[in-house]
Amino acid sequence: MLPAASRLRRGAEITAVVRGGERAASSRPALLVVHLLAGSSPASVPRAALVVSRAVGSAVTRNRVRRRLRHLLRERLISSPWNGDLVVRAMPGAARAGYAELGSSLDAALERAGRPRRAAEVSR
C-alpha cells in the first residue's frame, strides 16, 4: 500500500494529470503509459495513482498487475527526483509481463516522462 500522502484519490485529480501531464510510454509493445505532471503536488511528496482497466484481463489478473505495480511504484516514489503527480496506466500486455519486466518498463517510462523535451518535439 502506498502511504496516504502519496496517493491521488479523486477522479478529478487523476483526470487533470492525464490531460495536462507529460505522457510517455514504456517501450514497444507498450506495457505501461505514464502521465507526469511535475510541480503539481501540494504536499512535499510526489503523489501517484494506478489505472488498470478491464482490457488488462479478469479481476484476478488486474489485481495481480495492480499489486505488482503498487510495489514497484512505492520503491520509485521514495527516491523520486520530482515533486508532482503521477498516473501509471497498465496496458493489456502488462498481464503477461513478469515483475522484472514491469519494473524495467516503469523505469523506462519514468525516464522518458521526466526528461526535458527538445524544441523540435515541443513545436509539433
Question: Which residues, 6 or more positions from 21, have their beta carbon under 8 angstroms from its beta carbon?
Answer: 35, 36, 37, 38, 40, 84, 85, 86, 87, 113
- pTM of the model as a whole: 0.82
pLDDT tens track for 76-102: 887 777 778 889 999 999 999 999 999
pLDDT given for residue 69 in this prediction: 93
Sheet holding 32-38, edge to edge: 22-25, 32-38, 84-90, 47-52
The rounded mean pLDDT for the chain is: 83
Mean pLDDT (whole number) for 14-34: 86
Q: What is the DSSP string of 45-98?
A: S-EEEEEE-GGG-SHHHHHHHHHHHHHHHHHHHHT-S--EEEEEEE-GGGGT--
Residue spans of the domains in the chain: they are: 4-113
CATH topology for the 4-113 domain? Ribosomal Protein S5; domain 2 (3.30.230)
What was the pLDDT predicted at 13?
A: 86
Q: In this predicted model, which residue has the larger pLDDT, 75 or 44?
A: 75
User: Can you tell me the distance from the alpha carbon of 41 to that of 62, in angstroms, rounded to the nearest whole number?
Assistant: 27
Percent of the chain exceeding pLDDT 70 equals: 87
**What integer pLDDT is reported at residue 62 of this predicted model?**
94
Considering Cα of 51, then 53, then 56, then 60, what sign does the dihedral take? positive
